[in-house]
Amino acid sequence: MAVFVVSYDLNKAGQDYKGLYEELKRSTNWWHYLDSTWLIYTSESANGLFQRIKKHIDNNDSVFIVEVNNNYSGRLSEKAWEWIKKYVK
Protein backbone atom coordinates (compact mmCIF):
# COMPACT_ATOMS: atom_id res chain seq x y z
CA MET A 1 0.00 0.00 0.00
CA ALA A 2 1.18 3.52 -0.77
CA VAL A 3 -0.04 7.10 -0.71
CA PHE A 4 -0.14 9.06 -3.96
CA VAL A 5 -0.68 12.77 -4.53
CA VAL A 6 -3.26 13.35 -7.26
CA SER A 7 -3.07 16.96 -8.37
CA TYR A 8 -5.03 18.34 -11.30
CA ASP A 9 -6.13 21.33 -13.35
CA LEU A 10 -9.61 20.77 -14.73
CA ASN A 11 -9.90 23.18 -17.63
CA LYS A 12 -13.38 22.79 -19.09
CA ALA A 13 -15.66 25.50 -17.71
CA GLY A 14 -18.98 24.17 -16.48
CA GLN A 15 -17.88 20.52 -16.70
CA ASP A 16 -19.25 18.20 -14.02
CA TYR A 17 -16.35 16.37 -12.39
CA LYS A 18 -18.49 14.55 -9.83
CA GLY A 19 -17.51 11.24 -11.48
CA LEU A 20 -13.83 11.98 -10.87
CA TYR A 21 -14.42 12.79 -7.22
CA GLU A 22 -16.56 9.68 -6.71
CA GLU A 23 -13.90 7.52 -8.39
CA LEU A 24 -11.19 8.91 -6.12
CA LYS A 25 -13.40 8.22 -3.10
CA ARG A 26 -13.59 4.54 -4.14
CA SER A 27 -9.93 4.20 -3.14
CA THR A 28 -8.96 2.31 0.01
CA ASN A 29 -8.67 5.62 1.85
CA TRP A 30 -8.33 9.24 0.76
CA TRP A 31 -7.62 12.77 2.01
CA HIS A 32 -8.96 15.92 0.36
CA TYR A 33 -8.25 19.20 2.17
CA LEU A 34 -6.80 21.20 -0.75
CA ASP A 35 -8.93 22.22 -3.73
CA SER A 36 -7.13 20.41 -6.56
CA THR A 37 -5.14 17.89 -4.56
CA TRP A 38 -6.05 14.49 -3.14
CA LEU A 39 -3.94 12.00 -1.23
CA ILE A 40 -4.96 8.47 -2.18
CA TYR A 41 -4.04 5.41 -0.10
CA THR A 42 -4.12 2.40 -2.41
CA SER A 43 -2.41 -0.81 -3.49
CA GLU A 44 -2.45 0.47 -7.09
CA SER A 45 0.56 1.90 -8.92
CA ALA A 46 0.53 5.55 -10.02
CA ASN A 47 -0.29 4.38 -13.55
CA GLY A 48 -3.02 2.03 -12.31
CA LEU A 49 -4.63 4.90 -10.40
CA PHE A 50 -4.42 7.15 -13.47
CA GLN A 51 -5.98 4.46 -15.68
CA ARG A 52 -8.88 4.25 -13.22
CA ILE A 53 -9.59 8.00 -13.13
CA LYS A 54 -8.76 9.08 -16.68
CA LYS A 55 -12.25 8.25 -17.98
CA HIS A 56 -13.53 11.06 -15.74
CA ILE A 57 -11.35 13.85 -17.14
CA ASP A 58 -11.21 15.68 -20.46
CA ASN A 59 -8.29 15.67 -22.90
CA ASN A 60 -7.45 19.29 -22.06
CA ASP A 61 -7.22 18.60 -18.30
CA SER A 62 -3.88 18.04 -16.56
CA VAL A 63 -3.24 15.40 -13.89
CA PHE A 64 -0.06 14.62 -11.94
CA ILE A 65 0.22 11.52 -9.74
CA VAL A 66 3.29 10.87 -7.59
CA GLU A 67 4.02 8.61 -4.61
CA VAL A 68 4.46 10.33 -1.23
CA ASN A 69 7.34 9.41 1.06
CA ASN A 70 8.05 10.49 4.62
CA ASN A 71 9.98 13.62 3.58
CA TYR A 72 7.20 16.22 3.73
CA SER A 73 6.46 19.59 5.25
CA GLY A 74 3.88 22.35 5.06
CA ARG A 75 1.02 24.09 6.83
CA LEU A 76 -2.12 22.01 7.23
CA SER A 77 -4.72 21.36 9.89
CA GLU A 78 -3.93 18.94 12.71
CA LYS A 79 -6.55 16.58 11.27
CA ALA A 80 -4.69 16.54 7.94
CA TRP A 81 -1.34 15.81 9.63
CA GLU A 82 -2.93 12.96 11.58
CA TRP A 83 -4.12 11.34 8.34
CA ILE A 84 -0.71 11.80 6.71
CA LYS A 85 1.18 10.38 9.69
CA LYS A 86 -1.17 7.37 9.77
CA TYR A 87 -0.82 6.41 6.10
CA VAL A 88 2.53 7.75 4.83
CA LYS A 89 5.32 5.38 5.86
Query: Each residue of 71-89: pLDDT tens digit?
Result: 999 999 999 999 999 999 8
Whole-angstrom distance, CA of residue 2 vs CA of residue 26? 15
Q: What mean pLDDT is predicted for residues 61-77?
A: 95
Whole-angstrom distance, CA of residue 57 vs CA of residue 74? 28
R_g (Cα) of the chain, nearest Å: 13
Question: What domains are defined for the chain?
Answer: 2-87 (3.30.70.240)
- Which residues sit opposite 29 in a β-bridge? 41
Backbone phi and psi for residue 38, each to the nearest 5 degrees, phi listed first: -125, 150
The three-state secondary structure class of 38 is strand
| Single-letter residue type at 64 | F
Q: What is the pLDDT of residues 6-59, one digit of tens each?
A: 999 887 766 778 899 999 999 999 999 898 999 999 999 999 999 999 999 888
